[in-house]
Amino acid sequence: MNRFIGLFDSGMGGLTVLKAIMDLLPEENTVYFGDVGRAPYGSRSPDVLKRYSEQIVRYLTGHYQLKLVIAACNTISAVSLGHLKEVFDIPIMGIIDPVPKKAIETTRNGRIGVIGTRRTIQSSVYRQKIEQLSDSVSVYGQECPLLIHLIEEGWTNEPASRMILAEYLSNLKHLEIDTLILGCTHYPMIRAMIQEYMGNGVVIIDPAVACADMVRESLTKGEKLNHDNYPERIYLVTDNADLFWSSGERYLNRKIHKVNVVDIGSLEGRD
């Protein structure tokens, strides 16, 4: 039996990671968990994030035969990944690790920007990992807390969204960065708008694509790739299945045939 790749996020943003994996590894079975009922994660404390992510991984490993788990969320990858690796034996990946090397190889002037949730930016995880690899670059972070809400509302090309985006990105543009990391899995949905504001001289790095490459490399080395498989796609949420269904198809550019609801009480050990 071909095992699953499990992915989880606070909501729909991680679907950009799932899409990258489906595009690159179309024969892999996937199960996606969106913790919509407890979203957003970006303003949660580290202790809460660790508890939520542990509950989700425990649920996934308890109900599905998995070969790999992906924290398809920058906030979880920044705050909880180390904790999850200590608790669980199954391989667990985040979406941050493959990005610093790519950013260093991409920049020409040594000025790299990162945009993300408040928790991701305050963790300084991208800056720390990039500086571990190179002392000749400067990394500038920018919190963009409103963008997730605009994206999930479908406001991906509205004048109000452009105005808010410009407010967030103006300082990075002033700093003349030439490389910009999308430090939130929602942001690929507005990549064109970001590119338009920053200009073609700025290279945008999408961690979802880098993560998919890392997954393929890992499964290839471990001889765990699926072959000649008609893939199974499972979607789980903790609330608002209908909204996830309709919006998720926009993220994936594919049909979603069924979304199952997981009771939050079962995750937290309540009857």
pLDDT by residue (tens digit) across 124-134? Answer: 999 999 999 99
Q: List Cα–Cα distances, 57 to 81, 153, 199, 232, in angstroms.
A: 11, 27, 39, 19
Report the alpha-carbon distance of residue 214 to residue 99 in Å, rounded: 10
| CATH 3.40.50.1860 residue ranges for the chain | 4-95+209-267, 99-207
What strands lie across the sheet with 92-93, from one edge to the other?
A: 92-93, 66-71, 4-9, 29-34, 233-237, 260-261
Residues labelled catalytic: 73, 184
Could you say which architecture CATH assigns to the domain 4-95+209-267?
Answer: 3-Layer(aba) Sandwich (3.40)
pLDDT of residue 40: 84
CA atoms within 13 A on the CB side of 250: 16
Reported pTM: 0.90
* Alpha helix (H) residue ranges in the chain: 15-24, 46-63, 74-79, 81-87, 99-106, 118-123, 125-133, 147-152, 159-174, 191-198, 207-221, 241-252, 264-267
User: Are 204 and 99 spatial neighbours (Cβ–Cβ below 8 Å)?
Assistant: no
pLDDT averaged over every residue in the chain: 94
Q: What are the tens digits of pLDDT across the range 165-208? A: 999 999 999 999 999 999 999 999 999 999 999 999 999 999 99
CATH of domain 99-207: 3.40.50.1860
- Is residue 271 very low, low, confident or very high in pLDDT (cuts 50, 70, 90)? low
DSSP 8-state assignment for residue 190: G
Asked whether residue 1 carries a pLDDT value surpassing 80, the answer given is no
Q: What are the tens digits of pLDDT across the range 205-238? A: 999 999 999 999 999 999 999 988 899 999 999 9
